[in-house]
Amino acid sequence: MDRTRRTVQDVGVCLLLPAAIAVVATLPWLVAWSDLPDPVATHWGLTGDPNGHASPAVALALLVVPAVAAAVVLAAVAIHTRRDRGKGPVPAGPALAGVLAAGLGALFAVLSLAVVVANAGATSWHEAELPLAWALASVAAMIAAGWAAAVALGPIRLGAPAAPDAPGGPGEQGGAGLVLRPGERAGWVGAGHARWPLMTAAVLAVATVVAAVVTAFWVAAACALAGLAMLLVGEVHVTAGVHGVRVSSPVGWPRVTLPLDQIEAARAIVLRPVDWGGWGYRGSLRLAGRAAWVVRRGEALELRLTDSRTFAVTVDGAADAAAVVNALLARARQPS
């Protein structure tokens, strides 16, 4: 089953996705060339009215060439990773190149199609109106293609490997070997990272610039906001100390603070996003008594809280974090 699924992914990312990008970008121009005005509309305002134009040849070059080039890069990266699959996870450079190529290729392909559809049959570029739905479709295609490439360009680890089965590792309470003597202080700082949101953010950053030039300003703003959202869900910071455990995004908000007096025990576990319904902040401590901050699959710090509540966060070095938390709890519970 895994081999069959991998074969389908290989065919999709090596052949079908690059071919679809190239066909969507080029075929409409070939079919509708004789029905296009000269010049053609190439830029539209918020109301869908054209406010920029260029000759058909220039417009074709500006839209089709980047799409076809991106399709070629995507196919090359996919073939390379397929050939070297047995050597381990795809390096960050090729993976990012493939995701960027897929996203930008899809963006330019849909924009190319939109320009042809808007101009076909018009007697002048002034008559070529373009509904805002096309701009939304181009952004959606970019995100979907980038996501598909990130999933299919295997093997790619979307996070850290699972924590080892060792004392303090998954399934163990952890912290048995760490004892704080009187006067000693302990703290721990760590982070969890996921590649796919960071790659998507990079695609959106480039798309912001492209959309500002080719489409409307509001499309560029939407891409920028989506990129910021991807950055927020792609990384999480965790600190543990005498004041408890704090979990936050890279910018410090949103965040979760759990004082030591609300924590009963800590351990390292292996967390799967599917068990929590996806990525991001899942569940609710207040309503469900169970929550997790998920940025990837793999090792995570699980905190058993008071009132039978549970909180987990995917973070590298979860066993060390659990050891520090349990040592702090043990000292706090010692009689004065």
Q: What is the pLDDT of residues 88-115, one digit of tens each?
A: 555 556 677 788 888 889 988 999 999 9
Cβ contact 264:231 at 8 Å: no
Q: Specify the pLDDT at position 175.
A: 42
* Confidence check: pLDDT of 11 > 60: no
**Considering the chain, what percentage of its residues have pLDDT values greater than 90?**
28
- Report which residue type is found at 126: H
User: Two tokens at 281?
Assistant: 């902040």
* Confidence check: pLDDT of 121 > 80: yes
Longest CA pairwise span in the chain (Å) = 89
Query: At a CB cut-off of 8 Å and minimum separation 6, what does 122 contact?
Result: 36, 37, 41, 128
* Average pLDDT for 186-215: 74
Q: pLDDT digits over 52-99, tens only?
A: 888 999 888 888 988 888 888 888 877 766 655 554 555 556 677 788
Question: Who has greater pLDDT, 72 or 302?
Answer: 302
Strands 263-271 and 235-241: unpaired
Q: Specify the pLDDT at position 320.
A: 92
Give me the chain's average pLDDT, please. Answer: 79
* Average pLDDT for 156-185: 50
Q: Specify the pLDDT at position 273.
A: 84
Q: How confident is the model at residue 14 (pLDDT cuts 50, 70, 90)?
A: low
Highest mean pLDDT among 159-168, 191-200, 215-224, 275-284: 275-284
Taking the model in full, what pTM does it have? 0.51
CA gap 140, 134 in Å, rounded: 10
* Confidence check: pLDDT of 2 > 80: no
* Average pLDDT for 116-124: 92
Q: Specify the pLDDT at position 256.
A: 94
Q: Specify the pLDDT at position 215.
A: 57
Q: Specify the pLDDT at position 160.
A: 41
User: Two tokens at 272?
Assistant: 């799967």
Cβ contact 61:112 at 8 Å: no
